[in-house]
Amino acid sequence: MKFPFSKSESSSENPKYIFVVGGVMSGVGKGVASSSIGKILKAKGFKVTAIKIDPYINVDAGTMNPTEHGEVFVLDDGYETDQDMGNYERFLDESLPQINYMTTGRVYQEIIRRERNLEYGGKNVEVVPDVPLEVIRRIKRAQEEAKADITLVEVGGTIGEYQNIIFLEAARMLKQKHPKDVAVVMVSYVPIPGNIGEMKTKPTQYAARSLNSVGLQADVILARAQVALDEKRKEKIAIFCNIPTEHVISAPDVQSIYDVPGNYEEDGLGDILTDVLSLPKKKTDLSEWNTFVQKSKKATQEVEIAVVGKYFSSGEFVLSDVYISVLEAIKTAAYHLDLKPKITYLSSQDFESGKMELSELDRFGGILVPGGFGSTGVEGKIKVIQYAREKKIPYFGICYGMQLAVIEYARHVAGMKDAHTREISKDTAHPVIDIMESQKDIVEQGNFGGTMRLGTYPCVIREGTVAHTVFGTTEISERHRHRYEVNTDYIEEIEKAGMVFSGKSPNGVLMEIVELPKDVHPFFMGIQSHPEFLSRPLTPHPIFSAFIKAASKK
C-alpha cells in the first residue's frame, strides 16, 4: 500500500490538518464553525484553506433540489458545491477551487476512472484502503494548490452514520502517519430538553465514544447549545470525552454568524489549536473583522427587502438556506451602509394563487427575485416584477429574476403578449428567453450533471448606463449558472420599448445586465450571473450595495 505522501514531499514545510466532525445531529452550524476556525487561524497569519466533504453519491451538488440540500454554491471554476463552500469563501475572503469539494460520488468516480486506466497496476482495488487513500490524495492536492499551512476538512453528516465512515477512516489514517499534524474538532449539540430544562451532555459523550470507535479522539469539542455552557457541564464533557476542560469550547446560539470567530477567540480556541498542532504561538488580529461586526450591530435604520422565491417551504418550515448567499449579500451590503436589514421571504406561488395581494409589497424598500428553474411560481414572480416596475419599487433580479424581468417587459411594455422563456413554453410565438446554442445538444442527450454555463465569465458594461455607475468600470467578471439566455432576435424591439441591455459578453451576443434608465425608475436591474457568490462580508458586492441604497431611499 503506497501512502499518497510523506512529510518530505509536502510543499509547505509541515502542513497541518484539522478535521471538523459533527456529533449528535446535523444542522448545528458545523460549516460556520469550520469557517470561523479558518478565520481565526488566518488572522494569526497562517495560510489556511478549507475543504468540504459531503457523503452523498451525487458527484456534485448541482443535480440536487435546493429544498433537499440548500443552496448550490458555484465556484470560480464552475464547480457546483455545497453552501458551506460559500461560508468558507466569505469568512476566509478567498476564492476556492473545485479540489476543495468532494462527495462520495466524486471520489468513487475518480477511483473507477483510474482503475479503468490501469493506474492501480493490476492490483485489487478495495474500499479499504483505496477509498480513504483517494480522499487523502485529494486533501493533499487541495493543501498543495493553496500552499496551506493549515487545511480544514469538514466532514459532512454526523459521527455514527454509515455514510461518512470512510472519510473518518481517511482522517484516522492521516493521523496515524502524521500524529502531530492532525487535529480533530468535534462540533456537538448539547440539548436542553424542554420538559426538564436542564442541559444534557450525555448525547455528546456518546458521540465522543462513537468517534473513538473509529479510532479517532477529539482534541477539541465545540459544544453547540442554546446558551453558554456552565463550568459543571464543561467538566463533565471534559472528563467523559477525555479532553482537557479548556478544550471544551462553549458555542451558544448567537445573533449573527459573524459573531462566532470572536466568541471562539474569547475561549482561546486559536491558541488551543496551534498548541495541539505544535505550531508557533501567534497573535490573532481580527481587528478588521471586528470593526465590521461592530458596524453590523450599530445600525438602527431599517431597510426592508422582500425576497420572492419558490424554494422556501419544506412542509411547515421555511428554508432560508436555499438563498443563503443572496441573504448574506443583502445583509452585509446593508451593514456597510449603516442600515439594519429586515428580510422577508415571500412565496411567488402565493402571488400566483392570489393568496397574497400585490399591494402587500408596498411596505418594502426593495424587491429581489433570485435565481430559479422551471415553471412553479413563475407567473407570480412576473406579477411581482410588473408591480415593482410600475410602482417604482427598487427591483433587483438575479439570473431567472433577470430573465423574467425581460419577459415581463416584453409582455407588458413591448406588446408581445405571450412572451416567455423556452424553458417553460416550447411554442410561444415570442421566446424572448431561449436556450443557449451550446446547451441544445446537452439537453437533448439528457446530459444534465455539471453541464450548465458555469463559473466565471467576463462582461462588458456600456458607458453611461446605471450599471456603469454601479460598478464604476466597464469590465467585470461574475460567476454563472444557467442554460437559457436573452434571445438576441428581440433585443432591438425590447430596447426600442425602453429597456436597456447595459452589460454584454465581450463578443456582444450574450446579454448579461438589463436595466431601466434612472429617469424612468429609481432602480431596476437584472443580471444574468450570480453576484451573491462574490459578495464578501468585508467587501459587499457593488450591485447589492446599489440596490440596498436605492431601497433605503424609498
Active-site residues, by number, are 399, 530, 532
Contact, 93 vs 83, CB < 8 A?
A: no
- CB count within 10 Å of CB 468 equals 17
Determine if residue 374 is left, alpha or beta; phi over 0 gives left, psi from -120 to 50 gives alpha, anything else beta. Answer: left
Choice between 271 and 434, CB closer to ligand GLN: 434
Which residue is at the shortest CB distance from ligand GLN?
Answer: 371
If DSSP states are collapsed to H, E and C, what string results for 385-398?
A: HHHHHHCCCCEEEE
Distance (Å, whole) CA 187 – CA 312: 27
Choice between 381 and 482, CB closer to ligand GLN: 482
Please provide the DSSP assignment of 93-110 as one string.
Answer: T----GGGEEEHHHHHHH
If DSSP states are collapsed to H, E and C, what string results for 350-402?
A: HHHHCCCCHHHHHHCCEEEECCCCCCCCHHHHHHHHHHHHHCCCCEEEECHHH
Choice between 170 and 369, CB closer to ligand GLN: 369
Choice between 264 and 533, CB closer to ligand GLN: 533
Contact, 332 vs 295, CB < 8 A?
A: no
Contact, 512 vs 529, CB < 8 A?
A: yes
Contact, 24 vs 207, CB < 8 A?
A: yes
Choice between 22 and 86, CB closer to ligand GLN: 86
Closest distance to ligand GLN from the beta carbon of 401 (Å):
7
Partnered with residue 74 across adjacent β-strands are: 80
Phi, psi values for residue 349, rounded to 5°: -60, -30
Contact, 470 vs 515, CB < 8 A?
A: no
Q: Which positions ≥6 away from 122 have C-beta within 8 Å?
A: none
Closest distance to ligand GLN from the beta carbon of 400 (Å):
4
How far is residue 152 CA from its own chain's centroid?
17
Burial class (CB within 10 angstroms; exposed 0-12, middle 13-18, buried 19+) of 9: exposed
Distance (Å, whole) CA 209 – CA 57: 27
Contact, 223 vs 248, CB < 8 A?
A: yes
- How long a stretch of residues is the chain? 554
Closest distance to ligand GLN from the beta carbon of 324 (Å):
15
Closest distance to ligand GLN from the beta carbon of 504 (Å):
16
Partnered with residue 27 across adjacent β-strands are: none
Choice between 165 and 442, CB closer to ligand GLN: 442
If you search the block for the grid coordinates 422565491, which residue do you land on?
Answer: 309
Closest distance to ligand GLN from the beta carbon of 216 (Å):
39
The three three-digit cell numbers of residue 107, written as one number: 471520489
Closest distance to ligand GLN from the beta carbon of 502 (Å):
19
Choice between 450 and 517, CB closer to ligand GLN: 450
Distance (Å, whole) CA 253 – CA 285: 24
Specify the amino acid at residue 542.
Answer: P
- Which residues contact ligand GLN (rule: CB under 6 A)? 371-373, 399-400, 403, 423, 481-484
Closest distance to ligand GLN from the beta carbon of 372 (Å):
5
How far is residue 198 CA from its own chain's centroid?
34
Closest distance to ligand GLN from the beta carbon of 423 (Å):
5
Closest distance to ligand GLN from the beta carbon of 270 (Å):
38
The three three-digit cell numbers of residue 280, written as one number: 508557533
Determine which helix (DSSP H) or strand (DSSP E) holds 514, and give its type and residue range: strand 511-515
